Structure 1
């Protein structure tokens, strides 16, 4: 079992998200706790108003909503609503929420069984529940206890497998009417944003691209970029945009640029020693053979690590990003050390014609005096245990492909011709 805990400012938004799933047939409200009646006898207004009223007991709590998902292994079969409610009650008691009102929803929109729990972190007496490190401490203890008591497949200790948990969006069936597109993108975001440990927008896009999704700020001259906005797009395997962009603020959990920047910092703090498993797997490959770059990618993929090649506008390789689907870490080669950078990996690989061209490009790139200075500064920061991440992002941005936004200035737009209807005047 894997538990994901999120807090937010709007319990109403989380409630309507789950209720909308129920109305679409993708979920079912299976129970409640500390409500005056059974959930089958509660109207929607009564369900949400009890949570809102308790939240109002302490106006100092700004992020008072609690949204928890409990995710089970796909092979778990005996998970009927009664058993799921027993698991939910046990989990909430173990993390200190036994006296809190909460609603439980069983969702059917993923390949694995899972439930969502909605609550608030204000007690009936108005005191605030401290949730600092609750995921690392109380939730982890609750997980171990529940796996043992309910005889569930353990989240730790079993053989590690590559499990993407959901299928990439198929661009060929994207609906231009936005409803189905938004639903598909929301499903990807809900999984990726709270699972992987990305530390920059390019790193996040490296993961999202696996599901044919991209977070886009637009070009620097666009209105979206200047306003600090963000849109999400569906793309094909070549990065070509499909359908219409969807504003970050249109999704229920508001995955805006400001939200992502908070996640970047949180993940930087969390990973003081990034990529230990990635380093071991890469070194293991080179110790046993001299692979081509493509063969290296295939071997790593079989061990649960995706190797993403960062390409310049002329198609030449300038960087590598490693995505570990087991530890969920996302790391650039340069932050792991020189031996994992694009230049070093290419030098160590058995070179194909394409690799030889990439080595030549990379060598020319490294000869540039300005780039040499930047890389020296990066080495100094690393030696003094300071984060070189902002500098790495700057270097990456020099060769990053640009995806222009869809905004077009009014002066350049074609004016629509007004059709004169028969027998009517345009005046």
Structure 2
């Protein structure tokens, strides 16, 4: 995460900057801390927040630019708006602003989730909040909060992994690996950082639900013929919470697969539900290209139909025609047309 001090000012333009973002649909007010005097108002306007901050700032007129305006940013969508809000509150506490009135705004108008904090540098007793080594302290505090946040997140992810019924340690490790973790020398590691100690000998191994396995087999038989391998994988994960992880080596075709049933917290060896060859055989078709058409209006306004998307069907080369279509295709009855 990154913390950045924005331009100070005599007024509190940061409030208007952020509330304008709200009006534009690009931001959201997440927290208004220590503004109890405004609770009596049925509707709080941006000007009300500004007036409150100005009233506190007036306690020390020697501070010419009392506005504190800070942005805390994460990488991409790594932290949600609620997580960033909690981090912002913790950062303010550590920086000496725990009792100050301040606003936290979440912004979603860039590639990186971030929050803006607006407050006053004048304390409630008229003294300035310490700014000694402010930038150094700000980075140190945010780094410590990030480490703490990473451990909390790791504990939550570990708890989720432990909730699955896994019959092997490899299945358990796979669940964590898909979230970016690895287990090494008794530690849970992410991005090269050791986050938690983990005794793999104490990880419980439980057989997955056999009844659910039967349900999954029926699902595979129903939907596999409708998709290629990638399409089936995406459909099952997005629509049913079932993830297929294919195992291969050196770029060769998959030799096996694992089923992660996120919906009901089960992990299966693929062959326990449906052998890989049978699964692929279900969704293998002759080499062709299917064309999806969508209605489209011409210049006169009438509907026309023309190709919109071309979807190549994946061919599994190690299955012959007889394996796909059955032995009945070996002989062709006289007079029968294809």
Hey, which of these two has a bigger chunk of strand by percent? 2
More helix by share: 1
TM-score (norm 2): 0.42
